[in-house]
Amino acid sequence: MQGMDFALAQITDRVRAAAADQTPLRLRGGGTKDFWGHALQGDVLDTRVLRGILSYEPSELVVTVRAGTPLAELEAALAEQGQCLPFEPPISQGPPLREPRWAAWWPQACRAPRVPAWGRCVTICWASRCSTAGPSY
């Protein structure tokens, strides 16, 4: 097992062990939002080793990325096709990346399902065509 497969196996084993022991885990990427929300609890499970775009179908407006993929990397890939995320990711450093894109029109698109402890890829939301003129139906 090499590279990403090894990292995925390690994380999967850790999630399974935590589920069996009922030990809370705190999923963490770059830690840029550690100050948001409730007090931090649980052992840190760093997702940065799981990065990359697994599949991207621009004509279908569907992209699947690994948990540790930086938003900048995802947004760059979408921008190459004139697309963007259908919501504004929370940004804590620097100026906003772009104007708001009518995220309020996409409440159903960005509902993330629960991820089972044994680990599976899940689609969190779709890519959308960028437009400041409002949604097109």
> Which two tokens mark 39?
């007090």
Report whether pLDDT(16) > 90.
Answer: yes
Domain hosting 15: range is: 1-49
pTM reported for the whole predicted model: 0.57
Same domain, 22 and 66: no
Rounded mean pLDDT, 44-56: 91
Cα separation, 137 vs 135, whole angstroms: 6
Same domain, 78 and 45: no
Cα separation, 85 vs 76, whole angstroms: 11
Same domain, 62 and 109: yes
Cα separation, 114 vs 28, whole angstroms: 16
Q: Are 45 and 117 in contact (CB under 8 A)?
A: no
Mean of pLDDT over the chain: 72
Please give the residue that has the higher pLDDT: either 36 or 74: 74
Same domain, 11 and 73: no
The whole-number pLDDT of residue 116 equals: 45
Same domain, 26 and 65: no
Same domain, 13 and 74: no
Number of domains, the chain: 2
Same domain, 81 and 65: yes
Looking at the chain, the whole-number percentage of residues with pLDDT higher than 70 is: 61
Same domain, 7 and 65: no
Provide the pairing of β-strand 43-46 with 53-57. Answer: unpaired
